Each structure stands twice: as C-alpha cells, then as structure tokens.
Copies of this chain bind each other. A is one copy, B any other.
Amino acid sequence: MTRSFLIQQIKEKKSFLCVGLDPDLEKLPPHLLSEEDPIYSFNKAIIEATEDLCVAYKPNIAFYECYGEKGWKSLRKTNRILPANCLQIADAKRGDIGNTASRYAKTFFEKESAGLEFDALTVAPYMGKDSVVPFLEFKNKWVILLALTSNEGSFDFQFLETNKREHLFETVLRSADKWGGTKENMMYVAGATRGENLSLIRKHAPDHFLLVPGVGAQGGSLSEVCKYGMTKDCGLLVNSTRSIIYASKGKDFAEKAREKALELQVEMQSELERKNII
C-alpha cells in the first residue's frame, strides 16, 4: 500500500484507527470455541464489524505462533480476508542479520513463501542497519521500526542518553533515516504513554507515519497523541486492541467491538476536523 492511498483512506473513513488482532483462546467468547477454527471465526467477525471504521489491522504474531502450525493457519486465513483498503501490519518485531532478515521479509511480504502477504512489518532496531535494510527492498511494503515503545521497559534503554547528546530512540530515528527509510516505506512505533515524547519524535521524523500503541488499555490519551504527533497528512495510526476486541465475551462481542471502534472513530474524526485534514 502506498502512502498516498493510506492518506486517502484516512480522509474517506475519517479515521486513523488500527485494530490489533491478538486472539487469546482464554479470552475468546466461549460460544466460538466449538468452531473449527475459533481464532479465524473471531477475527472474521471483528473485521466485518469494524472495517469501515479503521484503516489498519495489526495481528501480533505471538498470538498465532503460540498455537504452532494451527496458529499459522489461522494467521494465513486471517491475512486473506483483511480488506485491501486497510494497511495490513504483521506485528512480529523481528530483527536479525542480513541473510536472516531477508528470510523474515519473504515470510511476511511474499505470498509464495509462507502464504502471507502483509503490507508492513514491525522490526526491532538493536542489530542495526543490515537487520533493517532487507525489508526496505520490497516495493510498496513498509518497515515499522521500534523507536519508542509504550511499555515500562522502554525506560531501560530507549531513554538512555548517548554520546550523540540525545536519547537512544532519537539516534535510532536519525540512523534509520540514513538507511534508505523514507516517509514512503518507513514508519516508527511511537508509544503514547507520554504525549510530549511524540514532539521529540516529530523533531526527527516530521513527515513519517507513526504507529502509536498504548492508547486505551495502556493509559495513553488520544487528544495528547494528536496534539503532539499529528501532521498535515495525519501521520498517525493509533492502535487499540484489547478495549475493542474484548469489549464483550458474549454473543454480542462483534457488536460491542464495533461500538468501541466507533467511539474512537468519532473522536478521531473531530481531531481530523480540528486540524482541517478533512
């Protein structure tokens, strides 16, 4: 998916919502457990209930991988029904040396490898340039590089000050910029737990899209995120997972998921209007 198509979707849907698809058999509505593939049935219902309200879906691969071959099958089937007008993000946080990174890129980007065909992959930066560049070689595909994450552990290393007189996450942003990552093929993960950190990120990445986790269940505020992170093209994908997909454990789970997604879409619409983006 190209950047301009993504921006067009944001304007048409009046939303920059990304729905996380992290199915957990212990949290799924019990009536689904008798289905042949409960995870797929769950995802399908969530997707059908929310696809006009969001512009991206993001399955976290851990939630599939932990069921082995069965889980990978559910992931593949889910990938197949993700709408073409939504950015399809594999949240895998992979990162390995060059020839291995190429394998991971094929896994998630090339249908003939693992049967998957995502638009974007989250990638961990610790191993540096050659662990990221192989993903950038795929046309119309995106790297979403971890810069600042939304968890407590982000304070352990990401906020260290480096000899470049900045935080480590800032060095990551500046480096990636030199690796051939442009606003057309690179986004950054930018945690929302403290809105003002987004302005630091914007200093280095004024035009890149940011994938923002941590709104909702993890405590971040949407208006803070927009205040510090929104650009004239929106430039944000705000992810919500648990508050949407686990809004109800009853037969009404999809309906309730839609309600939660709608609440966020309405809030997002006013933010887009406030900034004259729509």
Contacts and interface: CB of A to CB of B under 8 A. Distances in A.
Interface of A: 22, 60, 62-63, 65-69, 71-73, 76, 93-98, 100-101, 103-104, 106-107, 113-116, 124-132, 146, 149-158, 160-164, 168, 171-172, 175
B100 A60 contact: yes
A201 to B, nearest CB: 16
A114 B65 contact: yes
Nearest to A62: B103
Copies of this chain present in the complex amount to: 2
A142 to B, nearest CB: 19
Contacts of A94: 62, 93
B168 A113 contact: no
B65 A69 contact: no
6 contacts: A60-B100, A65-B107, A66-B113, A68-B113, A98-B151, A160-B168
Contact of A124 (B73, B95, B152, B171): B95
Given A126-B146, A146-B126, A164-B160, A115 B154 contact: no
A253 B262 CA distance: 59
B124 A151 contact: no
B156 A129 contact: yes
A270 B114 CA distance: 44
B126 A155 contact: no
A205 to B, nearest CB: 17
